[in-house]
Every structure is written in structure tokens, then in C-alpha cells.
Amino acid sequence: MTAVAQGPVSERTAHGSPARTAPTGFRVLRAEWTKLTSVRSNAWLALGTVAVAAATAFGLGMFVGPEDGRSGSWVVTSGFVLAQVGFLVLGGLLGTSDYVTGTARSTFTTVPRRLPVLAAQVQVTLVAALTTALAALGASYLATAGARAGDAPALDLAVPGTSRALLGFVLASVAVSLLGVGLGALLRHPAATIVGGVVLILLGDQLLAANPGRVTDTIRAFLPSSGSRLVEDDAALAALDAATLGPRLGEWGGGAVVLAWVVVVLAAAAHRLARHDVR
């Protein structure tokens, strides 16, 4: 490290003074987009999530026969069960990376109003998760083409709820990423974010499902894991609602629950960011 800039500083200020411009929502958004795309691991994580979704769908598709009572949309979207963890980690890492790496100090001295940064992080997460989810859906469709041509049921848009389930895959994936970025911004710690997120979207539901009852089923209905109902078609939803002892959430109820979680967690994160110190 011997390269030392030569020449007087005044020379720089003579021709280099940038125009005095202030941060705007759009400028902060561009900056956050640069931050997202300039870290290679984010792209690998998105790619990995697509691969997991497609591989899971491919694997499950091999073992589905006509007698299993599954629909064609289930075959395509079945990768969600594992891929949602990828979406959670994607959002969680985007929400915590500034705090983990110390970048928060430069981020929030550059934009001391702070909340525009969180808003921009939510927006770039949304775009990244949406792109990843569409790619995962496309990849899962292609990966299950062989299975659907064979024993597995075909993807038939005439089956009630099929197109909603395909759209639901994208919506539920984005929702999980947004929950991740919100938890990340709130907890500022990746391990806590990912463990907490996995409990909320996956494990909590599974544990409570082992003890069916009015109370446990009611709690399950109001966990963010209800968002996974978005990927089910009408027949599967009817079966879920028939089996539960808690509230029946219908077609969009699960989406409403996960959306409420996203809003509440982001509000808590915004409160912590606006009212408390950044280390």
C-alpha cells in the first residue's frame, strides 16, 4: 500500500465539487439496489432458492400418482415447503447485513433520517424476492414437466383455484422474504432472524399440529405459516378448513395473516430504528 495521491487538495476542490443535492426516497432506493446487487452472495442465494424449489418439486413429482388426490398445481408449487426457507434467509440477510458488517454506521450517517433506508430495503427485497419467486415457479414448472406428462396429475387451469395457487406461490414467497427483512431489521442479528423466522413459518406450525385441538389450531391459524395456504388450490383448502378445530381462513385468509405479520414486524423494526441508537 504505497500508492499515495499526489497533487494538492485544492486542485480537487477547484474542479471536483459535486452539486449540493439532498437524499430523496428514489436516491436511497437506487443506493440500496446497488448494495443488494454488489454482494455476490445475494445472487447465489437467489439462485440456490430457485434450484431448491425446482429440485424439491421434481423429487416430489416423481412419487405422485393419480390416486394421491393431489392436483397439478400442487406438483408445480410443492417446492415451496423448502424454498420458503431460502426466501426467509434472503430477506433476513438483506435486513441484517448493514448491522452485521458495520455498514450501518455509514448508511445511517449518510441518511440520518433512517426510515427512508428501511423503506428502500423493503422495496429492494420485494423486487429481489418477486424475481426469484417467478424464476422458481418457472423452474419448478419445467422441472415437473416430465412427471406431469407421466403419472402425476397435469396442470389444469380449469381445476378451481389452480391459477390462484400459482400466483399464491409468488405472493407467499415474497411475503416470507418481507417477513425476513422485517425480522432482520428488528433483531439486527442473522442467526436470531433465521431461527425465529423458521419457527414462525415452519416449525411452530409443525409442533402445534402434533397436538390438534381448538387452542393449538387457533394459534396455528394466526402464525405466518398460514401464508403457505396461498399455494393450495380450492380442494386442498377445503380439506384444510374441514380438518381444523380453529378458525377457517378460506381462500385469502392465510395471505391476510402473513401480511398482518409483515406489517406489524416492519412497524416494530421502524420504531426501533427511529427511536433507538445504531451501533
Partner 1 sequence: MIEVEALTKRYGSTTAVDGLTFTARPGTVTGFLGPNGAGKSTTMRVVVGLERPTSGSTKVAGQRYADLPAPLHAVGVMLDARSVHPGRTAYKHLLAMAQTHGIGKARVREVIAQTGLESVATRRAGTFSLGMGQRLGIAGALLGDPATLILDEPVNGLDPDGVLWIRRLVRDLAAEGRTVLLSSHLMHELALCADRVVIIGRGRLLADATVHEIVARSERAGAVRVRTTDPEPLARELIATGAQVAPQEGGVLQVRGASVDDVGTVARRCGVTVLELSAESGTLEEAYLQLTGDAVEYRAAGTQGGAR
On whether the CB atoms of residues 153 and 66 are closer than 8 A, the answer is yes
According to the binding rule CB under 8 A, does residue 23 interact with partner 1? Answer: yes
| Stretch touching partner 1 by CB under 8 A, among 4-12, 76-84, 137-145, 184-192 | 4-12
CB of 140 to partner 1, least distance (A): 29
| Stretch touching partner 1 by CB under 8 A, among 49-57, 98-106, 147-155, 253-261 | 98-106
Which listed residue (62, 101, 260, 264) binds partner 1 by CB under 8 A?
Answer: 101
Which residue, chain included where needed, has cell 398482518?
Answer: 260
Cell of 125: 427485497
Which listed residue (134, 195, 235, 278) binds partner 1 by CB under 8 A?
Answer: 278
DSSP letters along 89-153, please?
HHHHHHHHHHHHHSHHHHHHHHSTT-HHHHHHHHHHHHHHHHHHHHHHHHHHHHHTHHHHHTTSP
According to the binding rule CB under 8 A, does residue 131 interact with partner 1? Answer: no
According to the binding rule CB under 8 A, does residue 66 interact with partner 1? Answer: no
According to the binding rule CB under 8 A, does residue 103 interact with partner 1? Answer: yes
Binding residue count for partner 1, defined by CB under 8 A: 48
According to the binding rule CB under 8 A, does residue 32 interact with partner 1? Answer: yes
**Cα 144 to Cα 149: distance, rounded to the nearest angstrom:** 8
According to the binding rule CB under 8 A, does residue 205 interact with partner 1? Answer: no
Q: How far is CA 222 from the centre of its chain?
A: 18
| Stretch touching partner 1 by CB under 8 A, among 29-37, 146-154, 159-167, 206-214 | 29-37
CB of 92 to partner 1, least distance (A): 15
Which CB atom, from 66 or from 276, has the smaller least distance to partner 1? 276
According to the binding rule CB under 8 A, does residue 39 interact with partner 1? Answer: yes
Cell of 36: 443488494
DSSP letters along 237-251, please?
HHHHHHH-SS---TT
Cell of 246: 380453529
Which listed residue (1, 149, 158, 242) binds partner 1 by CB under 8 A?
Answer: 1
Q: CB count, 10 Å around CB of 30?
A: 13
Which CB atom, from 115 or from 157, has the smaller least distance to partner 1? 115
According to the binding rule CB under 8 A, does residue 106 interact with partner 1? Answer: yes
**Cα 35 to Cα 124: distance, rounded to the nearest angstrom:** 10
Contacts of 176 (CB under 8 A, 6+ apart): 84, 87, 88, 91, 129, 197, 201, 224, 227, 258
Cell of 101: 458488517
User: Interface residues with partner 1 (CB under 8 A)?
Assistant: 1-5, 8-10, 12-13, 16-24, 27-28, 30-32, 34-35, 38-41, 97-98, 101-106, 108-113, 276-279
